[in-house]
Amino acid sequence: MHITRDQIPNTRRWVVKIGSALLTGDGKGLAREALSSWVQQMADWVLAGNELVLVSSGAVAEGMSRMGWRVRPKTLHELQAAAAIGQMGLIRAYEACFLKRGLHTAQVLLTHDDLISRSRYLNARSTLRTLIELGVVPVVNENDTVANDELRFGDNDTLAALVANLVEADLLVLLTDQDGLYDSDPRFNPQARLISESRVSSSSLDEAAGDSASGLGRGGMLTKVRAARLAARSGAATVIAPGRGDEVLRRIARGERVGTLLTPVDQPEAARKRWLAGHLKVQGSLELDAGAVRVLRDSGRSLLAVGVRAVHGNFKRGEVVSCIDPEGREVARGLVNYGHKEAELIRGHSSREIESVLGYVDEEELIHRDNLVLV
């Protein structure tokens, strides 16, 4: 059963993305009053016992405003300079607003390489999860000052979707300067109707989505639909909502019909397992004892080093390994938390012994159950 509006109040972990046009008042500098309102609503969500990661655009646009540039730069070095200048004001504004509500923030800058490299993917995942557990609100943006290929994720909608996958969010909220997704472009068709709800897999969404009218950001409705499909890989639903609407985040949290709700086909756990099973190439294998095989099959628990009898192959932290039973049959595969050298050293040891063997502990599990799929 896919998520409905009524079920949104029962979700716990959100990723919220705010676009450049909203944050910078269409290029006039940071819209501080609006930013303060969004922060108050996000803070209320967190203080109620929920979890939130904020993905914020606006660094380049704020840098342009500070430098008095009216047209978005075309050269990479100018874009990177604008991002470096604007990021300072952007993060300071968020920090000040969240601190008024008693919440700390953390700046997290990511590049595409951070999310396609398995080891860096796990490092980013561990950092974000730790911040969430500490009650800190991560403020994520692309590291525009060092990224190449013209600032690379393509847009922060895509980044937000990847972060939703990374932290296994229940809901991705994309705040935009539109009321949501219409069945045709409302700028040219006054009869266009708002799509209140749809399955994210519906082919009609591609036809309905149009390009951004803003010269500040890079995303349009089509990128938001694609982002929703990307987020759905790990089971997250997506709401595309009007950022300028009164108390928009509180209304979404109450389950009100605001914006467009795009729902995944699969349940969150099933979607993530399908993603793991279908997109990962095995780099090595771990031979398990009978007890570990039984725990994986019957209890759905994580793989601990104590249950590993042998390590095969040369793999790195974050790569995919196969888990085989004593007869050599594959029973599962997943993202490993240690490279082959470390795995060889800690195999057969309990989790509490890992630090004494390696001198450090990355994770207590060799493969966490969230990153493990039975085959």
Residue 298 annotated in ligand binding: no
Phi, psi of 282 (to 5 degrees): -75, 130
Give the dihedral sign, CA 196/201/205/211: positive
Question: Any binding-site annotation on 176?
Answer: yes
Which residues are within 8 A (CB) of 174 and not within 5 positions of it... i.e. 6 or more apart?
A: 17, 19, 157, 160, 224, 227, 228, 238, 239, 240, 241
Report the distance separating Cα 25 and Cα 31, nearest Å.
5
CA distances from 180 to 62, 195, 241 (A): 25, 7, 5
Is 17 marked as binding a ligand?
A: yes
Separation CA 316–CA 19 (nearest Å):
36
Asked whether the beta carbons of 154 and 181 are under 8 A apart, the reply is no
Give dist(CA 193, CA 200) in Å, integer: 18
Q: Which helix (H) or strand (E) holds 321?
A: strand 320-324
Going by the annotation, the residues of the binding site for substrate are 57, 144, 156
Going by the annotation, the residues of the binding site are 17, 57, 144, 156, 176-177
Going by the annotation, the residues of the binding site for ATP are 17, 176-177
